[in-house]
Structure formats: structure tokens, C-alpha cells
Amino acid sequence: MQAVTTDFGIQEALQQLGVKAINEGTSTGSNNFSNGELIKSYSPVDGQLIGKVKTTTKEDYERMMDAAISAFKIWRIIPAPQRGEIVRQFGEKLREKKEALGKLVSYEMGKSYQEGLGEVQEMIDICDFAVGLSRQLHGLTMHSERPGHRMYEQYHPLGVVGIISAFNFPVAVWAWNTALAWICGDVCVWKPSEKAPMCGVACQNIAAEVFAENNLPEGISNLINGDYRVGEMLTNDYRVPLISATGSIRMGKIVAQSVAKRLGRSLLELGGNNAIIVTPDAGIKMTVIGAVFGAVGTAGQRCTSTRRLIIHEDIYDKVKDAVVKAYGQLRIGNPLDENNHVGPLIDTDAVKMYEDALTKVVEEGGTIVVEGAVLSGEGYESGCYVKPAIAEAEAHFKIVQHETFAPVLYLLKYSGDVENAITIQNGVVQGLSSAIMTNNLREAERFLSVEGSDCGIANVNIGTSGAEIGGAFGGEKETGGGRESGSDAWKVYMRRQTNTINYTTDLPLAQGIKFDL
């Protein structure tokens, strides 16, 4: 095992992205100012300090909000197709800086370099989607019951959109929200995870460059940094009509209550306890590929990661043996080395959560079939590298019901028909992503029916992990019910208005009511 080093162009990447040794924690375009304390960002790859970011103080926040509100008054009256041109330019900047940003994502978060590049590509893709959308922010026309009247609906920008993102997708989820919000005429205030603040600084620098080149207000794109206390400034602020928050169920419930108290809107993307059902008619090779990548990709730290594999008893041993064999081929190490499959967990707290899960599944009566371990020695000095583990378990185990944000896969056995597997799959509080592996059309359609998967995402012969930006992304139940990215998810960033025009000289009332004067 070669020692992990930073000799992968990291310093060059930071320079290209304008990320300094000490970065301002509050940013409105190129106006940086903060008197806050410092957040230190250490890479889980090798434990090295990447840089420091000043946290946002209350005074900083108020100055930033003043700039955002002022910018909104200008941005909202720019025609949507012209706003689309700005987003197109932002996408072009991302193309130019894709390698640098992908490396920073990989190094600060710990996902593989290819996944880091893929995350930046998602940003580019949503920009392309948003540019087309900028000419399609359409409403409907309706027939009025009154003669000489016309009814229609239109959509207007909301105002300031607050975005709270998680460490596991430190740039893409922000882009999913901000590209659409910008197209809709909103301005954005972003609080990235304090576990990946450098990625936030890098993205803000890119956005600020685009707005400056177009002589647009700095406050269209805004960055704040800090812990939950900074997040509370945003969620409790009546000037922010929409909060889009990605994270744990626990965090989402806190955000939802805070925003609901002031009758604001919440877009929540929370936990996932995702399962793949494997029926007797499944293709084993496809199943193994989907299950293994879903379980170990991003070291099991995706909201769509595969946590449960629900296998029919007739093929249980065959599937188990194939998956276990595949795990034996996994290479764990520096995520910037493209020969490796699995990088580190985000920090040592995540490592402890991983260890606790393996302890608990055994205590509840489960059996470990692929041993887990915390790796140490040369190349693993950060203490964040673990071996992906597999355990045989029962669906009712408390630890199986819980989302463990780490590479732990539970094998569950079912008998009878596919309805029994669907019952097991739906028997958790989370409802994000789901999949079935089968070549049986009836099973596939049953899984997709109203009596099938209760998740926001349901796939056939595709794993649970990952999603294309063209479809709306999100889940049901305690996943929060939010939708981001494609389809008509743009509507959440706008306010709907119904208009009626009377082009006659009379004023008839609705429902035939008479009110003669």
C-alpha cells in the first residue's frame, strides 16, 4: 500500500479555485468580510489541513442579507432567458474548472476522484437543464365562467432562497437548488456543511466571477459558514421564504419546525434506508454491480446508498456468495488514485458510527459475513478508512431500521411472492430510493404500482444509488417529501399567482351572485 500524499495537484487546484489558506466565512460576490472564528478543514484522505474559513457572525449575516435583498430587486426584473444566459456562463466556468473542483471535492470529502468529477458534471448538467428551462417558466390558461373574462396563472420569484447542504455532496446539491432558483429570479444564501467548507468557498468564487463579468449585483450569490447556529440565522429569518435543507432526519425535523413557525416553506431532502429487491428472475451480474456500487460508492455516504439487499430464499445463497466474492476485490485507499474503489469516511465520528452499527447487528442476532475493520498503517494515517462490511440480519432489527451513513450492507431473506419483499422494503420510516432486480414484467410493474414501492425513486434493474438531473429527486415519509433538480421541481422556487382579466364594460360576479347598486 502506497502512502497517501497530496501530490495529486491539490495545491494547484486550490489556486485555480481561488481557495486561500484562510478564507472569509461570509461572502456576497467578491465582497468578503467576517470577524468570526475559524473553521479548520482537514482532509479525511491524509488528515492534512486544507485551509481555514471564518465563521459568519450576526453582523456579517445582516450585511449579507441587506445585499441579497437589494440584489433581488434587480435580478427579478431581468427577463428569465437573460438570467439563463448567466447560468449558461456559470456552467461554462464549471467546465473550465471541472478537474480542479473535482479534485477538491474528492480531497475534502473523501469520495473517489471519478465521483468528484461526476459531481461537478451534475452541476454542469443542471446548468444546461436550467438554461432550457429559462424559456419555459409557463403557467396555464383557464376558461372563466363569466363572459368576457380571461383567467390564467403565472409564476413570480420568491425572493431570497436559503440552501443548507450536507458534506456528502458538497457542491452538486447546492447547484441543483441555485441554478433553478437563479433561473426563477431568486437570489441565494448558501450554508455549506462545516465538514466541507472549502468546496463552498470554491463554488462561491466561481459564481462571483461570472456575476462580476456581467456587471451584476454581488448579492445574487451569497455564502455563509459555520455550525448549526449560523443555520438557525437562516431558518429563523422571515426574509427567507424558502429553506432547502439536505441532511439527516433529525436535522430536517428541526429545520421544518423552525420554518413552519414563521409559515415559511421547506424543501427537505433527508435520510434514506434504501433497498434492492432481488427476485428469482433477477440477473445475478447486474444485481452484483448495482448492489456493490450502491453499498460502497462514496464509502456508503450517499443518501441513496444501498443499505438493504432483500433476496428471495431460492437464490439467497447464490446472490450472497457473488456479492461476498465481489467485496473481496475491493481496493481501499486514496480516493485520488483511480485504481481504488473506496475512499475514507468523512471523519472519525463517522468511523465510530460504523463500528457501533456492526456491534449492534451482532447483539441483535445478526451474522457478519464480510468482516469490517478500521484500517491503520501506511496510507491510512487519517484514521478514517474502513472495510466495507456485510451482515445477515432480520428486517425488524433496530439497527436495520436505522440509516447508518457508512459502508454496511444488510442481507435480508424473503419467501413467497414479490409482495412480501415489497412489504419488507417499505417497512422503514425513510422513503428515498428503491430498486428491484427482475426480468419478470409482472414483478416489475407490481413494484412500480400504487401498491408497490413507497419511495420517491423506484428503479427496475438499476441500483438505488445515483440519479439523473432530468427527473425530480426526493423522497417520501421521513425523507421529507421535497423535490429538487428536474421535471417541474422549479415551481417550489416560485410563487403562483392566478389572474382574471375582465375586458367588458360590466362586472358580473362569480357563481351568478347578484349585487346591484
- 132 contact partners, CB below 8 Å, separation of at least 6: 84
User: Which residues form the catalytic set?
Assistant: 269, 303
Integer CA distances (angstroms), 334 to 105, 188, 195, in order: 13, 34, 18
Nearest by Cα to 383 from 48, 1, 53, 32 = 48
Which long-range CB contacts under 8 A does 139-145 form with residues at least 24 apart?
139/496, 144/500, 145/510, 145/511
Rounded Cα distance between 325 and 255, Å, is 42
CA atoms of 216 and 214, how far apart (whole Å): 5
| 3-class DSSP assignment, residue 192 | coil
Three cell numbers written together for 30:
467578491
Q: Which long-range contacts (CB under 8 A, 24 or more apart) does 469-473 make?
A: 469/122, 469/125, 469/126, 469/129, 469/176, 470/129, 473/176, 473/269
The answer to whether 234 and 191 have CB atoms below 8 angstroms apart is yes
The three cell numbers of residue 419 are 409482495
Strand, coil or helix: 194: coil
| Rounded-to-integer distance, Cα 476 and Cα 269, Å | 9
β-pair partners for 494 = 157
Q: How many residues does the chain have?
A: 517
